[in-house]
């Protein structure tokens, strides 16, 4: 386990703790700024971290020439995004379930890459962490609000899945416990120095953030402070291992053009939804947009992870 990852996890835990305390002490404040925080996170790391996919793809297939790489990448990316967008139009509930599954895997994968562990314990951490995050996005601190958003985009409120079967606090606690239990299970089979104590705090603060804080605020803090940053670090490490000398400055320069296009699309979506005055619809469409961008992205990074190992 590299010291750099340990130090970054300390920073992440500190960020999560500060965000949690802020929400507990000033809930009205966090509710007022939650979309500003989400917007800043998407601009600074959210969109840029997905705008590196073409470079990752080019360096993953050195046997192809430059023209073949471009045709393959843009054809694949466009076709998959279009297909998934159409699926959202025809089968919104099915598409939403796909989004939950890919989010579970993708979030867990990006965070578990910090652990230099064999595949079985790493996969336990991957899936348990992903399940905790996705479960708490749906049934965390404000499941009624999230259920309304889900109903707007799928026609099916997520609370109806559990109505009459389980109490919300019990379900929240269950999902919040999955990753810490998975972490402790893995820890019990390892030497004490293989997983420093800071990772136990990390296993507790992330579920607490989603279970207690405002859902949009919690997602924003996690998406920027953990997922996107961890993912960027992994991609830069991958490219450095491909004999490129890359850094965060290089990353932002390389992703600027595609990020600007994404920002323009987000701005257009925002102003259109503002005209309708429907916050739930705005949040729902934002997550649809993220899902459409994430599906081809996850296949690119899966190739990267396999080649990296």
What is the residue-wise DSSP string for 140-157? SS-HHHHHHHHHHHHSS-
Report the candidate in 108, 53, 126, 32 with the shortest Cα–Cα distance to residue 303. Answer: 53
Residues forming the annotated binding site for Fe cation?
49, 106, 227, 231
CA distances from 82 to 46, 204, 220, 289, 300 (A): 21, 38, 26, 11, 16
Taking phi first (over 0 means left), then psi (-120 to 50 degrees means alpha), and beta for anything else, what does residue 245 get?
beta
Average pLDDT over residues 14-38: 94
Per-residue pLDDT, 277? 61
Q: Is the pLDDT of residue 228 over 80?
A: yes
Measured distance CA(239)–CA(259) in Å, rounded? 19
Binding residues: 49, 106, 227, 231
| Tokens read off for 109 | 């994968």
pTM (2 d.p.): 0.88
Domain limits for position 14:
3-308
- Residues 258-274 have a mean pLDDT of 73
Q: Output the six-digit token pair for 44.
A: 């600074």
- Residue 217: is its pLDDT beyond 90? yes
- Report the alpha-carbon distance of residue 229 to residue 238 in Å, rounded: 14
Q: Write out the H or E segment, with its range, that includes residue 229.
A: helix 229-240
- What's the total number of domains in the chain? 1
């Amino acid at each position: 386990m590299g010291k750099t990852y340990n130090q970054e996890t300390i920073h992440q835990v500190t960020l999560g703790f500060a965000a949690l305390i802020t929400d507990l002490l000033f809930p009205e404040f966090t509710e007022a700024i939650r979309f500003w925080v989400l917007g800043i996170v998407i601009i600074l790391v959210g969109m840029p971290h997905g705008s590196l996919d073409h470079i990752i793809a080019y360096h993953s297939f050195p046997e192809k020439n430059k023209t073949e790489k471009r045709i393959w990448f843009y054809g694949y990316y466009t076709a998959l995004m279009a297909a998934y967008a159409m699926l959202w139009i025809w089968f919104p509930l099915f598409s939403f379930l796909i989004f939950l599954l890919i989010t579970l895997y993708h979030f867990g994968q990006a965070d578990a890459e910090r652990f230099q562990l064999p595949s079985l314990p790493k996969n336990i951490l991957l899936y348990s962490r992903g399940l905790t995050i996705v479960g708490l996005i749906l049934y965390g601190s404000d499941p009624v609000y999230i259920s309304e958003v889900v109903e707007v985009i799928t026609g099916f409120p997520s609370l109806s899945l559990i109505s009459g079967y389980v109490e919300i606090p019990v379900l929240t606690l269950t999902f919040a416990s999955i990753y810490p239990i998975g972490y402790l299970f893995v820890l019990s089979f390892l030497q004490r120095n293989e997983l420093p104590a800071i990772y136990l705090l990390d296993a507790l603060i992330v579920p607490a953030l989603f279970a207690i804080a405002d859902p949009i605020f919690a997602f924003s803090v996690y998406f920027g402070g953990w997922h996107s940053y961890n993912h960027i670090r992994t991609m830069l490490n991958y490219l450095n291992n491909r004999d490129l000398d890359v850094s965060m400055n290089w990353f932002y320069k390389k992703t600027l053009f595609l990020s600007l296009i994404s920002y323009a699309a987000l701005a257009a979506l925002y102003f259109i939804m503002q005209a309708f005055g429907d916050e739930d619809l705005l949040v729902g469409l934002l997550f649809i947009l993220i899902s459409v961008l994430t599906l081809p992205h996850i296949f690119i990074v899966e190739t990267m992870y396999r080649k990296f190992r």
